[in-house]
Amino acid sequence: MRMLVAQSSGIGFGDNGTFNVLPPAARNEMMNLRRAAKTRAIQRAFWFGAGFSPLGFGEVPFLPRRPKKED
């Protein structure tokens, strides 16, 4: 377990040769799972941003065009 915690960054991003010690079949499976997880995360972030963009466009008409004059 401690080894997994110490290598968590390498497992998540596939750097530091973390996957090089695995057998080829397991290495390919881990790389495929990592790619699929990264793709899902990027897609979710995109859709989350796309979901909030109409809210931003809906707020634009209510923003002041000029600053208020101070007396």
Residue 11: per-residue pLDDT: 60
- The per-residue pLDDT for range 14-34, each reduced to its tens digit, is 565 667 777 888 888 888 888
Residue type, 36: A
Residue 34: per-residue pLDDT: 85
User: 7 by DSSP, 3-state: which?
Assistant: coil
Q: Where are the domains of the chain?
A: 2-54
Contact predicate 12/34, CB 8 Å? yes
Mind listing the pLDDT tens digit of every residue in the chain (71 residues)?
Answer: 566 666 666 666 656 566 777 788 888 888 888 889 989 999 999 999 999 999 988 998 888 888 777 76
The two counts, helices (H) then strands (E), for the chain are 3, 0
Tokens linked to 32: 């495929």
